[in-house]
Amino acid sequence: MWPLPDEAWFDSDPSGLGPDEDQWWDMVAASEFVPEPPDELEVVRGLSTLLASYAADRFRAVHALCMEWREDAARHGRELTDVVDRALRLELAAGLGITEHAAADLMTLAEAVVATFPSVGESLSKARITEQHARVFVSLMSPLEPAISAGLAKEALALAEAHPVGVFRRLLRALIDRTRVQTVPERFHAALQARRVYTESGADGMAWLHLYAPEVEVHAVFGRITRTGKAVRKSVPDDPRSLDQVRADVALDLLIDGDTTVLPVAARGIRPQVVVTVPVLSLLDDRSAAAGDPAVVEGVGPIPIARARELCGSASSWMRVLTHPETGMVLSVGRDSYEPPAALRRLVMWRADRCVAPGCSLPASRCDVDHTIAFSDGGETSIGNLAPICRGHHMVKHHGGWSVTQHPGGVIEWVSPSGRSYLVEPERRVPTFRPEPEPEEATPAPF
């Protein structure tokens, strides 16, 4: 916008017509107008844009180096074997001061971004995604069959450009699993054969115990020791151990002694709680299961329908959510109760699936069910005013200067202290049922 001339200028302008365009620009150049400098977050974002662009340039340079190296080897009659690539990895590692493993990872990523998925490299060079987005994209898309990865590339890139890295990783996994739903049982059965337990020595008399097993059961195990650990800390307020330390001790008690009698009474008998969502028709026959959406376990993803049927018919620790448009659900208890009833609490967590803070991927089952508008400020205990928030982001919401609003459908808007707005969509939508209006009675025609 051009600056307005001051009164002295008009006094010296006999024509009374005001400045022409050249005179305007002379005044702009002579003025002391200085734009406001960007705040620190904008500085960081600007530098991140440069880093993304430089990362794309580096991938192109590494790919060019690999191609030049291989072409040179071919000209000199050396076969393009692993030895040639190993020699290149050695030179790249030595030149960059990194390990050969890191050099190999860089070469693989460069080839994928430049040659296999060039649209990813283009998006990275324009800073529409970060380097970490590109790494997640390549790690999940490269192992797929070429026809599947080619078909998903455009939609996968759109997810990368629209979401933070953690959310993008989860959504891309879900997209891939939905596309490969027909092969879920076969892939699960093949992977199941590799289950094992092994140890890895650490330092100072410590060691790691690794368990490679079905993801549903592993999440259930972790959920149980977490809930048991929280119960221990609640029963023993002066316990100096952190939750991680209590979890480790609980796991050892269970594995070595096989019982929990050494724990406080409140921490005994805790069982895992896992949510499995199954389209109801998929439970009935394989044809419906093949045609419909896959069964999904909260925090895990799609599972074989046979496994879902097994879980839905097993112990009460599994919460069954049958997706059916006529299922009854508790949506609100108004202001009659601060604590949401169990059914409403489960529905709120099922809808969001994760913490509703921007970019957070902590499963809803490990979050607080929070009143968006505080109950003390008149907020209702209803599906439209409840959302799962992890303990850390719960503190940020109340004490970090952010404002949080829940929009229809469970969409959560976070506004930062600097005024920036971030929208978080729920994982699922709760069906809304409205009675059809009764037909108006026809007005009798006059005689």
pLDDT tier for residue 327 given thresholds of 50, 70 and 90: very low
Residue 234 has, within 13 A of its CA and on its CB side, a CA count of: 10
- Residue 210 to residues 5, 29, 196: CA-CA distances in angstroms? 75, 68, 8
Whether the CB-CB separation of 166 and 359 falls below 8 Å is answered with: yes
Of residues 384, 409, 410, 388, the one with CA closest to residue 397: 388
List the beta bridge partners of residue 279: 323
Structure-token pair, residue 139: 């790690």
Give the pLDDT confidence score for residue 299 in this predicted structure. Answer: 58
Model-wide pTM > 0.85: no
C-alpha R_g of the chain: 30
Segments in 180-235 forming alpha helices (H)? 184-192, 215-235
Give the pLDDT confidence score for residue 165 in this predicted structure. Answer: 92
pLDDT tier for residue 202 given thresholds of 50, 70 and 90: confident
Is the pLDDT confidence value at 346 over 90? Answer: no
Label the pairing between strands 196-201 and 403-407: unpaired
210 or 223, greater pLDDT:
210
Is the pLDDT confidence value at 110 over 90? Answer: yes
Q: 165-179 vs 146-162: helix axis angle to the nearest 10?
A: 150
Residues 228-280 have pLDDT tens digits of 888 888 888 888 889 999 999 888 888 877 766 656 666 555 555 555 665 55
335 or 194, greater pLDDT:
194
Amino acid identity at 433: F
Report how far Cα 75 is from the mean position of its chain's Cα atoms. 47
Which range in 136-145, 181-190, 197-206 is most confidently predicted, on average pLDDT? Answer: 136-145
Q: Which one-letter DSSP state was computed for residue 98?
A: -
Q: What angle do CA 288, 291, 296 make, to 5 degrees?
A: 85
CA dist., res. 418 & res. 82, Å (int): 53
pLDDT tier for residue 40 given thresholds of 50, 70 and 90: confident
Of residues 430, 239, 406, the one with CA closest to residue 346: 430
